Copies of this chain bind each other. A is one copy, B any other.
């Protein structure tokens, strides 16, 4: 059945090449003291840093900076940012970067308003008692099409001390305004473009692979998003300054995970929890970990009760001939997905190729199922997840 749901995404998106002129006015709505967060030096090399600083100065705002947010952002950066907000009485946060920078900024925004450790917002042991009741407003300038953090209320943070990596969603962490300029992704390498495409693809599959009957219109939309990724990711890899390709990928990254596609489905994700354990310990790129896991997970879950979903994906997205046995179509669908991820996108196919061996499989599998069962397209227990990890060995 189609369950009731609430749709509520009040993010204003400025999309296009010539939108930063609105940055100063948008920031000013929330105050005068701005903390700008970013990662490494890429935004300086591409000239974006200078442009942003100029807009902020021209608007008469006071600028503070927190550089050095890591890929797979760490709780220490969050703690440092939250402390800066308190020390400097920050009014509004400006995240300039990809999903890692925006994710970290979300928990900085929440951490700035409380006395306790921001890790409490993420730690499953604390989440029953801790909530985000207040947060500083967030504006972001996106530089990587991948995680969709620019239009959702969630984030994922790593804690290297405990080798934990957790995600959490809080409505107050939704950005107020996102600036999506496809030209800001022109310098993204082919490899990172591929990882971003794999991440978006996984976001859609986590929702699409669901036997809960829901709305056909949303399945059509998800199929369109997947066709968009398949069409434009290779173009963006070959021609990094192809605006049409970058624009399609960027807007797709937002809509893959902003919640619209969920509709009234009861959701539980599978590949993301399994991948978070990989990147928590080995610090690999999230999209790459997802790419390795996805076809194996598809293969492990396939059975007579869910084969129709594989057939739908194969015929509607990959153009597989529908005049065959369902199981044959399903196998061709998994092959087509592998071919896209490892052939077209050129991502590594196995865990050993990215330096991961069986050492931690048992503990990672146990953590990924939360000690019991990973509810998702098909319920997975620890031994199931271990088996999927093992399928990624070759």
B-facing mask of A118-133, CB < 8 A → 1, else 0?
Answer: 0000000000000000
Chain A interfacial positions (CB closer than 8 Å to B): 1-10, 12-19, 213, 215-217, 220-221, 223-225, 227-228, 231-232, 243-244, 247-248, 251-252, 255, 263-264
A14: chain B residues at CB < 8 Å are 4, 6
| A255 CB contacts on chain B under 8 angstroms | 217
| Given contacts A216-B248, A217-B225, A7 and B3 within 8 Å (CB-CB) | no
Q: Is the CB of A217 within 8 A of B2?
A: no
Taking CB as reference atom, which chain B residue is nearest A177? B8
Given that A3-B16, A12-B8, A19-B4 are contacting pairs, would A228 and B216 also be in contact in the complex, using a CB cutoff of 8 Å?
Answer: yes
Q: Is the interface of A mostly helix, strand, loop or mixed?
A: mixed
- Chain B residues with CB below 8 A from A225, complex form: 217, 220
A224:B232 contact, CB within 8 angstroms: no
Could you tell me if A10 and B13 are in contact, using CB atoms closer than 8 angstroms? Answer: no
Say whether A248 contacts B15, CB under 8 Å: no
The residues of B that contact A18 with a CB separation of less than 8 Å are 4
Partner of A251, one of B217, B228, B244: B217
The one of B4, B247, B264 that contacts A215, using a Cβ cutoff of 8 Å: B247
Contacts of A2 in B (CB 8 A): 16, 243-244, 247
Interface CB pairs A-B, < 8 A, 26: A2-B243, A2-B244, A3-B16, A4-B14, A4-B15, A5-B15, A6-B15, A6-B19, A7-B15, A8-B13, A9-B9, A15-B264, A213-B244, A215-B247, A216-B232, A216-B248, A217-B225, A217-B251, A217-B252, A217-B255, A220-B220, A220-B221, A220-B224, A220-B227, A220-B228, A247-B264
A228 contacts across to B, CB distance below 8 A: 216-217, 220
Name the distance in Å between A156's Cβ and chain B's nearest Cβ.
24
Q: B7, B12, B215: which contacts A7 (Cβ < 8 A)?
A: B12
Q: Which residues of B contact A216 (CB under 8 A)?
A: 227-228, 231-232, 244, 248
